[in-house]
Chains A and B, each alone.
Chain A
Amino acid sequence: MLVGQLLSAGIELALNQLLQLDPDCQGRLKKLSGKQLQVSVNELPWSLLFTFSGQIDVSALERNEEQAAMESSADCHITLGLGTLSDLKDSSKISQLIQQGKLDLAGDINVAQGFSNLMKELDIDWEEQLSKYTGDVVAHQTFSSVKSFFTSAQQEIDKLAAQFSTHLTQPEAVAVKPVEVDDFCEQVNVLRSASDRLEARIDQLIASQQDDQ
């Protein structure tokens, strides 16, 4: 019974921690102050109600008749499937998702878009956050190393991808190239000369043996 509360507590904690790491987001959060957004995911037995003030409070509402009456109190109510959840990151897609029938929205669309923008535009200086615990030098070195590692890794991945792509797109070789034919002919000529010389030498040896007898 308390699973919903555990989930909502976890989401609430995570959201507010993230918001605290970006002081500039307070302006965007203020625009949503006093609003409520309810998100019902078809696969879950609860709806999540986000209440915006100086922070975000998350409630888990069980889906029964009594709560259904409560649902109408939210400024915006979104109903969607679990697979569509990740598409909400891009607020410009909301209208498209509604048209595709993947998302049902009742109420003020600006609340949903505002929340989406709030999370999307979070700009957290992770190096600064780490420096609070490790000091500036260690934080800078750590992030430089990590950045360098990821840049190198990205380059390697790009190179491998290019090679793989070439391998896949290059037509299968069905005949030898001219240069390979020339090389082969040259080698045959050398072999023929060598065998002629050998034959002449053998003939010479046989002749000299017959003379001795």
Chain B
Amino acid sequence: MSVSEKHASTAANPSASNKQAPESTEKTHFGFQQVDKSAKASMVAEVFQSVAAKYDIMNDVMSLGIHRLWKRFTIDCSGARAGHKVLDLAGGTGDLTAKFSRIVGESGEVVLADINDAMLRVGRDKLRDKGIVSNVKYVQANAEALPFPDNSFDIITIAFGLRNVTDKDKALASMYRVLKPGGRLLVLEFSKPTSEVLNKVYDAYSFHLLPKIGELVAKDGDSYKYLAESIRMHPEQDVLKDMMQGAGFEQVTYHNLTGGIVALHRGFKF
């Protein structure tokens, strides 16, 4: 039985063009299904528990390696420099943390935070194997209630993590709280392709090919079915921009990458 089947209470009407996921006070979406809000975090955790070991290789296979360029673009837009304190939220296997660690240097600090201990463990082992130890801390944390004092970080990044958060508004507010005045939040996330043709090709790829690749490589097609569904349920570019502004972020802009398949949102706290 799949992760989604175990926890789904009612099935939602699947729609690939949802502008924003409808979220009642009791229910939220888990892919195309409606589930209890209290259950989503553990269901997402199971997904990532299942794919943690093959996470990096699956990212390379699924995106043909382009995810590395999306992450580079995020770092290039971060304005990170020596001495900065960076929070890599939902940092998973530590791709962004590794580079941030070298940029901020000994005088700076990077906190790799993830709600999932399996992902955190994979990330910690990977970074230690690369010799990255001195200026990186590992924290298991829920983005909705970040365990850090107010105004702690110069930069916060969340790459491919926000769509898995149950209450996104709460998470954005929490990020705003721990960001220093003058600091910036960067949200790298799957989004809505800008071209209809690309949208159709992307749909076909996501719903037909992706689960099969997941089954083949990670031996877990259901988790990658969830991935495709969760992307469609994630707020599209302008909606997320409004949500960030609603949380208090200013000068919010976004860049569409690879035709809008992915978007990088950036907002400042002043």
User: Which residue of the partner chain, among B69, B81, B255, contacts A6 with CB atoms under 8 Å?
Assistant: B69
Q: Is the interface of A mostly helix, strand, loop or mixed?
A: mixed
Is B99 located at the chain interface by the 8 A CB criterion? yes
Is B258 located at the chain interface by the 8 A CB criterion? yes
A51-B103 CB under 8 A given contacts A2-B258, A36-B81: yes
Chain A: interface residue count, which band? Answer: 20 to 34
- Encoded as 1 (CB less than 8 Å from any A CB) or 0, chain B from 56 to 99 comes to 00000000001011101101100101100000000000000001
A5-B72 CB under 8 A given contacts A34-B82, A54-B131: yes
Nearest Cβ on chain B to A155's Cβ, whole angstroms: 47
Nearest Cβ on chain A to B248's Cβ, whole angstroms: 20
Kindly report which residue of chain A lies nearest to residue B76, judged by CB atoms.
A59
Is A55 located at the chain interface by the 8 A CB criterion? yes
Is A60 located at the chain interface by the 8 A CB criterion? yes
> Number of contacting residues on B, CB 8 A?
21
Verify A2–B257 contact, CB threshold 8 A. yes
Is A92 located at the chain interface by the 8 A CB criterion? no
Verify A2–B131 contact, CB threshold 8 A. no
Chain B, range 231-258, C-beta contacts under 8 Å to A:
255, 257-258
Verify B79–A70 contact, CB threshold 8 A. yes
Chain B, range 95-131, C-beta contacts under 8 Å to A:
99, 102-103, 105-107, 131
Verify B72–A36 contact, CB threshold 8 A. no
Nearest Cβ on chain A to B264's Cβ, whole angstroms: 10
Verify A53–B76 contact, CB threshold 8 A. no
- Chain A residues in 8 Å Cβ range of B258: 2
Verify B72–A9 contact, CB threshold 8 A. yes
Is A61 located at the chain interface by the 8 A CB criterion? yes
Is A181 located at the chain interface by the 8 A CB criterion? no
- Chain B residues in 8 Å Cβ range of A34: 82, 105-107
What residues of chain A have their CB less than 8 Å away from a CB belonging to chain B? 1-2, 4-6, 8-9, 33-34, 36, 51, 53-55, 57, 59-62, 66-67, 69-70, 73
- 28 residue pairs of the A-B complex, CB under 8 angstroms, read A1-B73, A1-B255, A1-B257, A2-B66, A2-B69, A2-B70, A2-B258, A4-B76, A5-B72, A9-B69, A33-B105, A34-B82, A34-B105, A34-B106, A36-B82, A51-B103, A53-B105, A54-B102, A54-B131, A55-B102, A57-B102, A59-B75, A59-B76, A60-B72, A66-B79, A67-B79, A70-B79, A73-B81
